[in-house]
Amino acid sequence: KQEVTQIPAALSVPEGENLVLNCSFTDSAIYNLQWFRQDPGKGLTSLLLIQSSQREQTSGRLNASLDKSSGRSTLYIAASQPGDSATYLCAADIITGYSTLTFGKGTMLLVSP
Amino acid sequence: NAGVMQNPRHLVRRRGQEARLRCSPMKGHSHVYWYRQLPEEGLKFMVYLQKENIIDESGMPKERFSAEFPKEGPSILRIQQVVRGDSAAYFCASSLGTSGRASEQYFGPGTRLTVT
């Protein structure tokens, strides 16, 4: 059974800092790994999807890496801004022939001005 | 191009009543997934459907919960005889396919169910 863990559970940084969010998964036979952002009381916004054949994906100030052998993914946020404050979720998509995501509990990020 | 639509956004039910949650996938998407987010917990997969077919319902409680995705109209998650423990946010997601980038899931805003 796939389990996804995110560390830290919460993170508070001043504006402008670069930061790294960590995600680990127990079953390396994953198909995709997806990072999401969730604002309080809102739905999920997909940030980046890394396919199993890829090592990283980049979108603007965000960079996500995937190391299947060690069961880890990281989300790097450059030059953080107060608008980045949200909960960040990673989700692993195990190889079943179709796509069902197993989520971590998230990292709650607060970027102070 | 509208995203995934869910309604209602908020639903209040008394214990014992029925709750019906609706989800319209993104245009062109035929794969629908339901997830539940209990307070202080992560999102948990419930069920995966394609048009007129339930593909995987391994995450759905055996009793009181059912889901459908008819040929026409939205996907429905139905909870009969709700109990306080059903209070949660229910999210629907859709994808274009199940392989490669087509498997990327797009989420709706969720329905927040409160059972009083």
For B24-65, write each residue's pLDDT tens digit: 999 999 999 999 998 878 899 999 999 889 999 999 999 999
pLDDT of residue B79 exceeding 60, the answer is: yes
Rounded Cα–Cα distance for residues B18 and A69 (Å): 46
- The residue written with tokens 């001043």 in the block is A14
pLDDT of residue A95 exceeding 80, the answer is: no
Q: How many residues does chain B have?
A: 116
Q: DSSP state, A99?
A: -
8 Å CB contact between B92 and B4: yes
Nearest to A38 by CA among A111, A112, A113, A105: A105
User: What confidence category does residue B98 fall into, taking pLDDT thresholds of 50, 70 and 90?
Assistant: confident
Rounded Cα–Cα distance for residues B33 and B47 (Å): 6
- A–B: how many Cβ contacts below 8 A? 68
Q: What is the largest CA-CA distance in chain A?
A: 45
Bridge partners, residue B82, by sequence: none
User: What confidence category does residue A58 fall into, taking pLDDT thresholds of 50, 70 and 90?
Assistant: very high
**Shortest CA gap B93–chain A (Å):** 9
Which residue of chain B comes nearest to A44, CA vs CA? B107
pLDDT at site A55: 92
B31/A44 CB distance under 8 A: no
Rounded Cα–Cα distance for residues A29 and A26 (Å): 9
Backbone angles phi, psi at A22, to 5 degrees: -110, 145
B2-22 confidence digits (pLDDT tens): 799 999 999 999 999 999 999
Q: Which residue has the higher pLDDT, A99 or A48?
A: A48
Q: Mean pLDDT over residues B93-105, rounded? A: 84
Tokens encoding A1: 């059974």
**Shortest CA gap A30–chain B (Å):** 12
8 Å CB contact between A35 and A57: no
Q: Mean pLDDT over residues B69-91, rounded? A: 96
From chain B residues 27-86, the ones with a CB under 8 A of any chain A CB are 31, 33, 35, 41-45, 48, 55-56, 59
Residues in chain A closer than 8 A to B43 (CB atoms)? 44, 89, 91, 101, 103
What percentage of chain A has pLDDT greater than the value 70? 96
Q: DSSP state, B30?
A: -
Strands A44-51 and A19-25: unpaired
Nearest to A63 by CA among A51, A53, A52, A73: A73
**Shortest CA gap B17–chain A (Å):** 24
pLDDT of residue A31 exceeding 90, the answer is: no
Q: Is B107 on the interface with A (CB under 8 A)?
A: yes
pLDDT at site A96: 64
Q: Mean pLDDT over residues A21-50, rounded? A: 90
pLDDT of residue B101 exceeding 80, the answer is: no
Q: Coil, strand or helix: which one is A64?
A: strand
Rounded Cα–Cα distance for residues B68 and B14 (Å): 23
Q: Mean pLDDT over residues A53-79, rounded? A: 94
Tokens encoding B86: 């059903």
Backbone angles phi, psi at B28, to 5 degrees: 90, -10
